[in-house]
C-alpha cells in the first residue's frame, strides 16, 4: 500500500511538473509578433524579444501594410495571450463573453484588403475607413476591395485566390 501511494505521488508530481507544454509568458494586447507557421488552432510566433512559442491563432491580426515603417513583425495580438513552448493538446478556450459594444469596437478595427488605384498593389489596413487608405510608401490611393463570389463571375482570379477581387 505504501509503495502504491509513493508511486502515485511521484506520478502526480511528474505530471504537474511539466510533461506537457508549459506557458512561459503572457503577452499583452497589441504585442508585435512575427508569424512563423500556422498549426491548426495555434500559430508558432516569435516575439520582439526573440522568444519563440505558440499562441491561439484566433488572437492574431495582420499588421497594417499601408504604414511607411519597415516593420519587423507580421502580426499583432488582439487580446492578452499565453505563449506556450509547444502546441497544447487542447484547443484554445473561447474568449470570455463581451457586450455588443465591445464586439462592435473590435470589428471596426479588423483588417481589410485594399487595392491600389494605379498599380493594383494589395494593402492590408484596418477596415474602419470610409472608402480608401493612402499607401504611405507610394502615396497611392488604395480602395477597399470587393470579392465576386458568383459561380460564373467573368473576372480573372489572381494570386491563387478562389474568387475575383477588385475595387
**pLDDT score at 102:** 86
Q: Are 108 and 100 in contact (CB under 8 A)?
A: no
In angstroms, the CA 150 to CA 74 distance is 32
pLDDT of residue 50: 87
- 3 state SS of 127: coil
Residue 101: the pLDDT is 92
156: closest CA among 120, 112, 118, 116? 120
pLDDT digit of tens for each residue in the chain (167 aa)?
443 333 334 334 344 444 555 656 788 888 889 899 988 889 999 988 888 999 988 888 887 776 766 667 788 888 888 898 888 888 777 778 889 998 888 787 788 888 889 988 888 888 887 788 888 888 899 998 888 888 888 887 777 778 888 87
Note the pLDDT of residue 44: 92
Q: Which residue has the cell 473590435?
A: 106
Tally of helices (H runs) and strands (E runs) in the chain: 2, 13
pLDDT of residue 23: 59
Strand, coil or helix: 34: strand
For residue 135, list its beta bridge partners.
140
Distance in angstroms (rounded) separating the CA atoms of residues 13 and 113: 50
Q: Position of cell 506520478?
A: 11
Contact call for residues 42 and 87 (beta carbons, < 8 A): yes
pTM here? Answer: 0.58
Residue 65 is given by DSSP the state T
What is the per-residue pLDDT for 75? Answer: 87
Q: Quick check: helix, strand or coil at residue 64?
A: coil
Sign of CA dihedral 104, 29, 54, 69: positive
Amino acid at each position: 500500500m505504501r509503495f502504491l501511494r509513493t508511486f502515485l505521488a511521484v506520478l502526480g508530481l511528474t505530471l504537474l511538473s511539466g510533461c506537457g507544454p508549459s506557458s512561459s509568458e503572457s503577452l499583452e494586447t497589441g504585442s508585435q509578433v512575427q508569424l512563423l507557421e500556422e498549426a491548426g488552432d495555434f500559430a508558432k510566433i516569435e516575439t520582439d524579444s526573440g522568444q519563440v512559442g505558440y499562441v491561439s491563432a484566433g488572437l492574431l491580426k495582420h499588421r497594417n501594410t499601408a504604414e511607411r515603417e519597415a516593420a519587423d513583425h507580421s502580426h499583432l495580438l488582439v487580446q492578452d495571450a499565453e505563449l506556450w513552448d509547444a502546441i497544447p493538446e487542447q484547443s484554445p478556450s473561447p474568449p470570455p463573453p463581451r457586450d455588443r459594444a465591445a464586439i462592435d469596437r473590435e470589428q471596426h478595427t479588423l483588417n481589410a484588403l485594399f487595392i491600389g488605384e494605379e498599380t493594383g498593389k494589395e494593402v492590408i489596413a484596418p477596415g474602419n475607413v470610409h472608402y480608401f487608405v493612402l499607401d504611405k510608401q507610394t502615396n497611392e490611393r488604395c480602395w477597399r476591395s470587393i470579392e465576386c463570389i458568383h459561380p460564373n463571375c467573368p473576372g480573372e482570379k489572381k494570386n491563387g485566390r478562389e474568387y475575383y477581387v477588385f475595387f
